[in-house]
Structure formats: structure tokens, C-alpha cells
């Protein structure tokens, strides 16, 4: 049963702290009016402009938490869950996520964070997982709809599962080549060799799709806030690369060693030619009880790299060197990333050059699932090998 009535007052909650009351429309799936701010210090980061909450910013923050209209497989998912709009799902679950601890309830509704949070109770994980990934899904839509997946952003198919009492995120790749899951694993292998803080990802096959599997970075006491929201909140201008604003905002809030942490991520993106480091693919962890900024997140979502979206014959094209993304900047030369990395602060051991062989073996292992060609594997292997040779050479030159 749907939880929301029409034009009623709702309370935006942060765990059990009421944050604001607002009129919400379940037809347009948005807030219509902010009625009262109840707790200024618990307002979501990103919903203020020039220090004041605006309806537009609040709705932007709210929508960005949910399944986007461009999610792979969205229309099939909606059909299987018997919903008309991804926001319907949000409304079935009190707008609960597992990436943060905000939620919505009707004014006077007698319900607590403990009752709605998916950190604290089970859900029909196979139901939603099948609806998202399976070629034939035999599910109970009303049970599958009660899911933390209603508020999980991003393009790729994904589903949360609880395993051994830990939440893990299964995430597929772009259906043509499905290389992203192996690329996420690769990013971790490189991260291990050069001591980068990369979220651990491994690969599995789920419902005949290749998926990456990673642990949840957040918990009942921790929110993930993306760089996008931080940059909006601090009023960063999009006229120039927003990296300096991001770094100084994190420093201002007491996060240690920010420049080096950000440069770890940029180094990995440089090596792997990541084309997708937009402002939702980096962020920080915040204490949900005190709102203290804790640290940057481990590096996550590095899968869209090594020319994984282009045709086989285009993988090694020079033109790919200009497809870098960083925050608000797109389609620029990867070499420009070097301006933001102090290579002398990293040790790039020779054993890095063993990784392409392991990577190639992984791609071969999953060929029966992905159907990618030998040519594709050879070219991607070559690209990775060249990138590793190049970064080692640059690092050697940087210490001379
Ligand atoms: N391990 C995690 N723990 C908590 N939240 C996560 C985790 N992984 C991802 N998220 C949240 O889910 C969002 C989407 O995840 P992710 O970026 O991995 O998906 P994607 O589909 O690859 O995204 P994109 O659209 O950038 O390709 C992230 O921006 C983050 O807010
Ligand atoms: Mg992402």
C-alpha cells in the first residue's frame, strides 16, 4: 500500500531527528513547499543556496538519491515491480536509502527510524535482484518493492543484498560488453599494489550477468555525501574546474590530508583512463549523529575505463586520450590530470606490470558470459599495459 496521500504534510527525518516539514505531491513526486525548518544542523548537504534552503535544491537533492530515468533496464524493472515511475518505489519505502540515513514520514505518522531502516531489517533481496537482473523474473512485486534499492543512484543495474549480516552491492556492466565489473576488480588490484584507498570489489555471476560486488561504505551512523552536493552547498562556480573548491571545502571541515587522498583517485583515473569521474562518483562520509565530516570515501565506481564502451577497433585510438572527466569538466586530455598528482609521493612497483596478465585472464574467464571478442581482450590488455608503462616512466622522470 502506498504511504503517501495527496498534498499532505510530511516530515523529512534524519534518523529520528525531524529536519523540516514540507508539502509533498505524490503525483509530481516532489516537495511543493517547505513549511518549517525544524533542525538546521541536520539539513541535507546540498539543499541550501546562499545559506538558505530552497525548494529547487531540496527537490534536486531528493531526486538525485533515487533510481534515475537512464538506469539500464528501467522500463523492464518498472513493469516487473508494477510501478509507473521510479519515484513510486521511493514512496513505498519512506524514501529510505542505505547510502544515507534520511527518510520521509507523514506528519503524525507513528514510525521510527529503527522500523524503516534497511540497516536493521531484512528485505526481499532476491525479488528485487531478479526484477533488476533476470531474463525471466518470477517475483512477488509487492514484496520486491520494499527495498533499499529504491534510493540507489547510477546508470548501471544494481541491487543490494545482505550476506552474513553485511550489505553488499551487486552491480552489472553496460550490457554490450559487460567489462565494468572486471574493471572495478582491476582498480582494486592496482590500488592494493600502490596503497590507494580503493573500495574492495570482486566479480561474480548473478542471473547470468557479470556483476561486481562491493561492501556498503555506510551504516546506521554514517552518510555518504557526494561531491556534487558539497559543491552545490558551497556555491562553487562551474566556470572552472571545481577540484580546488572541493578540496578546500573538505579541508575547511577538518578532513585530513585531502589533497593526497584526491590525488590517489586522480592517479587511478589517469592509469585506467576513467571517463566517468563526475561529481557523483566521489564523496565523503559524514557522521549521521553529529554531522561531523569524517573522511573521503574509498575510491568507488572506477568501472567505466579502458575504453570499455567503444567498439573493439576503437579501443587504442588516440582520440580516446581526450575523453577524461573530472567533476564538472568533460572531454579533456587525460594528461591534464598529471597537474593534480605528485608522482613522487607514490611508489609504483615493477610488479604492477604483472596485473595486465591477470586482467586478461579475468576477461577470458568471463568470455562465456560477456561474449566479448579475443580482439577486444587483446586490445584492452595492451592499453592497460601501455598505461602502466607510461605512469612508471613518468614517475621515474619525476624524481630525477
Ligand atoms: N558501497 C557503497 N556503499 C554505499 N553507497 C554506495 C556504494 N556504492 C555506491 N553507492 C551509492 O550509489 C551511487 C551509485 O553507485 P555507483 O556510482 O557505483 O553506480 P553507477 O551506476 O556505476 O554510477 P554511474 O551512473 O556514475 O555510472 C553512488 O553515487 C553512491 O551514492
Ligand atoms: Mg556512479
For residue 1, what pLDDT band results from cuts at 50, 70 and 90? very low
Report the pLDDT averaged over residues 139-158. Answer: 97
Residue 262 phi/psi, 5° resolution?
A: -70, -35
Question: Is residue 4 within 8 Å of residue 24, measured between CB atoms?
Answer: yes
Q: Domain coordinates of the chain in residue numbers?
A: 8-163, 222-399
Question: Is residue 216 within 8 Å of residue 297, measured between CB atoms?
Answer: no
CA of residue 298 to ligand 2 center, whole Å? 13
Phi-psi region of 120 (alpha: psi -120 to 50; beta: other; left: phi over 0): alpha
**Span 20-49, pLDDT tens digits:** 999 999 889 999 999 999 999 999 999 999
Decide yes or no: CATH 1.10.1070.20 for domain 222-399. yes
**Span 311-345, pLDDT tens digits:** 999 999 999 999 999 999 999 999 999 999 999 99
Cα–Cα nearest to 360, from 306, 313, 318: 306
Ligand 1 atom index nearest CA of 152: 12
* Residue-level pLDDT at 400: 61
Model pTM score: 0.96
**Span 363-374, pLDDT tens digits:** 999 999 999 999
Indicate whether 197 pLDDT > 70: yes
CA of residue 42 to ligand 1 center, whole Å? 23
Indicate whether 76 pLDDT > 50: yes
| Mean pLDDT of all residues belonging to the chain | 96
Pocket test for ligand 1, best of 274, 301, 309 (most atoms within 8 A of CB): 301
Cα–Cα nearest to 3, from 108, 81, 127, 156: 108
Cell triple for residue 118?
A: 534497511
* Residue-level pLDDT at 4: 52
**Span 224-249, pLDDT tens digits:** 999 999 999 999 999 999 999 999 99
**Span 167-196, pLDDT tens digits:** 999 999 999 999 999 999 999 999 999 999
* Residue-level pLDDT at 2: 52
* Residue-level pLDDT at 7: 59
Amino acid at each position: 500500500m502506498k504511504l503517501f496521500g495527496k498534498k499532505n504534510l510530511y516530515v523529512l527525518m534524519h534518523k529520528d531527528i525531524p529536519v523540516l516539514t514540507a508539502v509533498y505531491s505524490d503525483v509530481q513526486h516532489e516537495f511543493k513547499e517547505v513549511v518549517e525548518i525544524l533542525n538546521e544542523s541536520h539539513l541535507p548537504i546540498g539543499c541550501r543556496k546562499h545559506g538558505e534552503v530552497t525548494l529547487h535544491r531540496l527537490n534536486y537533492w531528493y531526486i538525485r538519491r533515487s533510481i534515475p530515468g537512464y538506469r539500464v533496464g528501467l522500463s523492464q524493472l518498472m513493469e516487473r515491480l508494477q510501478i509507473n515511475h521510479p519515484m513510486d518505489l521511493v514512496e513505498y519505502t519512506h524514501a529510505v536509502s542505505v547510502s544515507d540515513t534520511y527518510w520521509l514520514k507523514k506528519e503524525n505518522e507513528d514510525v521510527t527510524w529503527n522500523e524503516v531502516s534497511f540497516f536493521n531489517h531484512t528485505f526481499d533481496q532476491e525479488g528485487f535482484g531478479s526484477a533488476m537482473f533476470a531474463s525471466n523474473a518470477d517475483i512477488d512485486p509487492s514484496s520486491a518493492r520494499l527495498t533499499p534499492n529504491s534510493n540507489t543512484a547510477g546508470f548501471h543495474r544494481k541491487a543490494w543484498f545482505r550476506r552474513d549480516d553485511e550489505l553488499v552491492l551487486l552491480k552489472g556492466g553496460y550490457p554490450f560488453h559487460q567489462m565494468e565489473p572486471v574493471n572495478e576488480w582491476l582498480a582494486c588490484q592496482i590500488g592494493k599494489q600502490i596503497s590507494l584507498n580503493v573500495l574492495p570489489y570482486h566479480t561474480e555471476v548473478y542471473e547470468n550477468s557479470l556483476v561486481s560486488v562491493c561492501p556498503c561504505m555506510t551504516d546506521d551512523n554514517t552518510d555518504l555525501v557526494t561531491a556534487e552536493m558539497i559543491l552545490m552547498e558551497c556555491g562553487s562556480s562551474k566556470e572552472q574546474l571545481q577540484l580546488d573548491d572541493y578540496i578546500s571545502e573538505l579541508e575547511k571541515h577538518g578532513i585530513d590530508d585531502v589533497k593526497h587522498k584526491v590525488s590517489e583517485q586522480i592517479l587511478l583515473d589517469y592509469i585506467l583512463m576513467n571517463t566517468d569521474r563526475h561529481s557523483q562518483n566521489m564523496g565523503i562520509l559524514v557522521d549521521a549523529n553529529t554531522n561531523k565530516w569524517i573522511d573521503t570515501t574509498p575510491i568507488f565506481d572506477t568501472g567505466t575505463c579502458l575504453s570499455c564502451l567503444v567498439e573493439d577497433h576503437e579501443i587504442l585510438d588516440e582520440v580516446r586520450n581526450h575523453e577524461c572527466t573530472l567533476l564538472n569538466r568533460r572531454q579533456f586530455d587525460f594528461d591534464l590530470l598529471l597537474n593534480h598528482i605528485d608522482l613522487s609521493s607514490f611508489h609504483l612497483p615493477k610488479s604492477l606490470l604483472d596485473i595486465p596478465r591477470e586482467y586478461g585472464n579475468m576477461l577470458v574467464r568471463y568470455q562465456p558470459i560477456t561474449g566479448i571478442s579475443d580482439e577486444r581482450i587483446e586490445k584492452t590488455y595492451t592499453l592497460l599495459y601501455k598505461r602502466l608503462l607510461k605512469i612508471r616512466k613518468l614517475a621515474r622522470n619525476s624524481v630525477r
